[in-house]
Amino acid sequence: MPRAPEPWLGDVRAKVRFERGARYRYPSLRGGGCRRTADRGARYTATIDVPFYEPRRVTILFPRGSSSPAVRADGPSSSPHRYNDGTLCMWVPSDTPANTWTVRHGLLDLLDAIAAHLFREAWWRETNEWLGPQVAHAQVSAPQPADLLEAMS
């Protein structure tokens, strides 16, 4: 039997720990990993309330064998912090642990980080000012192929 790519896939207790609090704070949250989809990865969708701006529908994909999620959001996509495939660039592999989300932080922290990123994007579209750390994107490429989210649809 192949090893599950992520700790919460196929392990009910690990999934409960990973998702702890996320469904309470984000009641629209759907999806996740389970035994029948463990070979494909995990996919979540949720509506994120963006403070002072319109809510956004997001899709989070954990491709098989990766602990780094690909995140897409509906609505305006102009942003200095999106990859060419439209996924959010919230951190890069060379970031310090303090600036990077990891699986052990759990899904709730990831959803909160997405909300903060979407707020920064909306603020940037209004003011042309990015609130937070950034890196030059000419040096950064998307960690996943552009078609991963479509493959999970």
pLDDT digits (tens, 9 = 90+) for 106-128: 999 999 999 999 999 999 999 99
Domain count, the chain: 1
Residue 113 lies in a domain: yes
Lowest mean pLDDT segment, chosen from 8-17, 35-44, 119-128, 134-143: 134-143
Residue with tokens 């994007």: 121
Phi, psi of 17 (to 5 degrees): -65, -45
Question: pLDDT grade, residue 16 (50/70/90)?
Answer: confident
Lowest mean pLDDT segment, chosen from 12-26, 35-49, 63-77: 35-49
Domain that holds residue 21: 12-152
Residue 114 lies in a domain: yes
Residue 109 lies in a domain: yes
**Nearest CA-CA partner of 150 in 79, 61, 74, 73:** 61
Residue 3 lies in a domain: no
Higher-confidence residue of 116 and 4: namely 116
The domain spanning residue 104 has which CATH number? 3.10.110
C-beta of residue 49 within 8 angstroms of C-beta of residue 90: no
**Nearest CA-CA partner of 40 in 4, 72, 11, 73:** 4
pTM of this structure = 0.81
Write down the pLDDT at residue 10: 66
Residue 122 lies in a domain: yes
Write down the pLDDT at residue 33: 63
Q: How far apart are CA 71 and CA 80, in angstroms?
A: 15
Residue 4 lies in a domain: no
Write down the pLDDT at residue 94: 77
Residue 6 lies in a domain: no
Q: How far apart are CA 32 and CA 43, in angstroms?
A: 5
Residue 46 lies in a domain: yes
Average pLDDT in the chain: 80
Question: pLDDT grade, residue 75 (50/70/90)?
Answer: very high
